């Protein structure tokens, strides 16, 4: 199978490529071969690379003859005469942070993941079988390395985002009781767990009236890290802010921008000003008490990032972006929520990830290491997507009736993996475009060796 999304680079122009590792050079080569309208002007030195490795890499990869007259830049701020910067996804986090600090938003994140042929996948399946089914490494890996579980404390939500399938859900919406939450945390700690995420696939954790009590309890019981994603509407509540600053380690706040009209168009409720007010107070209080919580703006963009960052409503937040107190995680590529969300739901520059020919022979990573505890204690594989209901063929047990350690990689879980390898996929996975093949350490390098041509796809584009 051959897929190339280089065609999605939206315009001709002059580009710089971030970094000088293998991935950056691959990306530059692909642009050169496939997009003659784009001139690669140069490479930007990544702080991870030192000059010796750069030189070696340039010689080894014959970068000099191939890229005649390209320049190597050490400081992004010195860049002149370019239309955009291409960032390979592998170095996206540090690159995006670095650029946000300097108010540079003309970039494109590129995922140069490799595509796999069917024959290569069949070979891969042999390895999968021996790793996951015969040697039982999946369970060992999950409990020793992953040590994280998603706990849905609420499936209620106070927003109606256009790109979310919440309105298609037929499930009852409710919060998790405190006794059940305590039971989940206790059992998870007994399995060597150390991190819980409170982000449900639909719902907002702050809507749960027991949120403050639950995060404090989890911390006191010994959970090292609490993560969550929220729309931030209830950050206007002081008690919630205080609990977040004291007990939460990482918080992602999802929003399109602070412009009231755009907020209500995309998030379906008139709460843009309330989110801005709550977030600003949170950042001021974070600064005052030196709270360690990492706050990220998960921007669901309908307009280019530089436009959103220039909004008047954004101006009070820019100083926090520059100091790194507020991180940015912009997104314009949406998935299809197992077939529920379509192009018609996209607004502005948002677009849908298209994976029509996706081969799904290897189980999705979320089947292997992202189980969720639903608010009534049912355990479901995949904490991210569903098709109309969470109570489907991904349910593997009930923590009220069986210990968690027996449910994860228990009989039903293994049956699902085995069926997947045999070609029988769970219902929500069949059409899902969020699918990611699961690769474990050690196996990943074998996988890389057997896969073919580098292709890629664009995650986000900002100009
Ligand atoms: S994306 Fe999150 S905030 Fe938006 S409607 Fe869905 S669950 Fe609610
Ligand atoms: S394919 Fe989609 S629904 Fe299935 S486990 Fe992966 S993310 Fe979840």
The string of pLDDT tens digits covering residues 171-230 is 999 999 999 999 999 999 998 888 999 999 999 999 999 999 999 999 999 999 999 999
pLDDT mean over 303-319: 91
Q: Where are the beta strands (DSSP E) in 69-121?
A: 71-73, 84-88, 107-111
Euclidean distance between CA atoms 157 and 173, whole angstroms: 9
Euclidean distance between CA atoms 249 and 226, whole angstroms: 5
Mean pLDDT of the chain: 82
Cβ partners under 8 Å of residue 252, min gap 6: 199, 227, 228, 229, 230, 296, 298, 329
pLDDT, one tens digit per residue, over 68-123 is 556 677 777 777 788 888 888 766 667 777 777 777 777 777 766 555 454 555 55
CB 133 within 8 A of CB 418: yes
- Bridge partners (DSSP) of residue 454 are 114
What is the predicted pLDDT for the residue at 307? 87
For the CA of 435, the nearest atom of ligand 2: 1
Q: What are phi and psi of 387, to 5 degrees?
A: -115, 100
CB 327 within 8 A of CB 297: yes
Structure tokens at 238: 């002081």
Instruction: Return the higher-pLDDT residue of 167 and 55.
Output: 167
CB 308 within 8 A of CB 257: yes
Determine if ligand 2 sits within 6 Å of the CB of residue 9: no
Determine if ligand 2 sits within 6 Å of the CB of residue 165: no
- Tell me the angle at which helices 118-128 and 443-450 cross, rounded to the nearest 10 degrees: 160
For the CA of 360, the nearest atom of ligand 2: 1
pLDDT over 70 (residue 261):
yes
The residues lining ligand 1, judged by C-beta closer than 6 Å to any ligand atom, are 157, 159-161, 164, 166, 202-204, 231
pLDDT mean over 156-177: 95
Q: Give, for ligand 1, the residue of 153, 231, 263, 300 to mutate: max count of ligand atoms closer than 8 Å to Cβ.
A: 231
Residue 59, classified by CB atoms within 10 Å of its CB into exposed (0-12), middle (13-18) or buried (19+), is exposed
pLDDT, one tens digit per residue, over 363-384 is 888 988 889 999 999 999 999 9
- Tell me the angle at which helices 272-289 and 238-247 cross, rounded to the nearest 10 degrees: 50
Structure tokens at 4: 């190339």
pLDDT mean over 61-65: 53
Structure tokens at 344: 């018609």
Strands 225-230 and 195-197: parallel
Determine if ligand 2 sits within 6 Å of the CB of residue 308: no
What is the predicted pLDDT for the residue at 394? 97
Euclidean distance between CA atoms 363 and 51, whole angstroms: 40
Identify the weakest region by mean pLDDT among 17-21, 196-200, 273-277, 303-307. 17-21
Q: Give the model's confidence band at 63: pLDDT under 50 very low, under 70 low, under 90 confident, else very high.
A: low
For the CA of 268, the nearest atom of ligand 1: 5
- Bridge partners (DSSP) of residue 295 are 251, 326
Question: Which ligand approaches the C-alpha of residue 150 most closely?
Answer: 2
pLDDT over 50 (residue 402):
yes
What is the predicted pLDDT for the residue at 462? 56
What is the predicted pLDDT for the residue at 259? 97
């Amino acid at each position: 199978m051959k897929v190339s999304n280089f065609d999605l680079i939206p315009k001709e122009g002059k580009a710089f490529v971030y970094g000088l590792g293998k991935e950056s050079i691959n990306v530059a080569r692909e642009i050169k071969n496939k997009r003659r309208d784009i001139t690669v002007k140069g490479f930007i030195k990544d702080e991870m690379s030192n000059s010796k490795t750069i030189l070696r890499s340039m010689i080894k990869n014959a970068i000099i003859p191939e890229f005649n007259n390209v320049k190597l830049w050490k400081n992004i701020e010195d860049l002149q005469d370019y239309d955009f910067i291409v960032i390979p996804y592998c170095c996206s986090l540090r690159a995006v942070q670095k650029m946000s600090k300097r108010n540079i938003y003309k970039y494109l994140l590129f995922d140069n993941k490799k595509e796999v042929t069917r024959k290569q996948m069949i070979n891969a399946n042999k390895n999968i079988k021996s790793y996951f089914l015969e040697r039982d490494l999946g369970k060992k890996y999950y409990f020793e390395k992953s040590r994280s579980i998603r706990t849905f404390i609420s499936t209620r939500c106070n927003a109606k985002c256009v790109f979310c399938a919440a309105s298609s859900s037929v499930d009852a919406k409710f919060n998790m009781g405190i006794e059940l939450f305590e039971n989940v945390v206790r059992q998870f700690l007994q399995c060597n767990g150390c991190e819980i995420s409170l982000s449900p696939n639909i719902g907002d954790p702050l809507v749960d009236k027991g949120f403050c009590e639950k995060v404090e309890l989890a911390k006191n019981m010994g959970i090292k890290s609490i993560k969550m994603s929220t729309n931030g509407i209830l950050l206007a509540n002081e008690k919630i802010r205080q609990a977040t600053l004291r007990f939460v380690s990482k918080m992602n706040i999802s929003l399109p921008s602070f412009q009231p009209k755009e907020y209500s168009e995309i998030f379906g409720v008139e709460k843009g000003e309330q989110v801005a007010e709550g977030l600003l107070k949170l950042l001021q209080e974070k600064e005052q008490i030196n709270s360690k919580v990492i706050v990220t703006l998960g921007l669901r963009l309908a307009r280019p990032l530089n436009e959103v960052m220039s909004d008047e409503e954004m101006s009070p937040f820019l100083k926090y972006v520059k100091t790194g107190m507020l991180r940015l995680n912009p997104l314009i590529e949406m998935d299809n929520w197992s077939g529920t969300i379509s192009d018609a739901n996209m607004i502005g520059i948002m677009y849908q990830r298209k994976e029509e020919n996706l081969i799904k022979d290897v189980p999705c990573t979320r089947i292997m290491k992202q189980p969720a505890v639903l608010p009534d204690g049912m355990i479901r594989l995949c904490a991210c997507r569903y098709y109309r209901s969470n109570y489907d063929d991904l349910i593997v047990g009930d923590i009220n009736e069986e210990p968690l350690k027996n449910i994860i990689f228990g009989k039903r879980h293994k049956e699902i993996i085995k069926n997947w390898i045999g070609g029988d996929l769970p219902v929500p996975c069949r059409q899902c475009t969020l699918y990611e093949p699961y690769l474990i350490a050690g196996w990943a390098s074998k996988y890389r060796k057997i896969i073919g041509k580098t292709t890629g796809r664009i995650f986000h584009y900002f100009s």
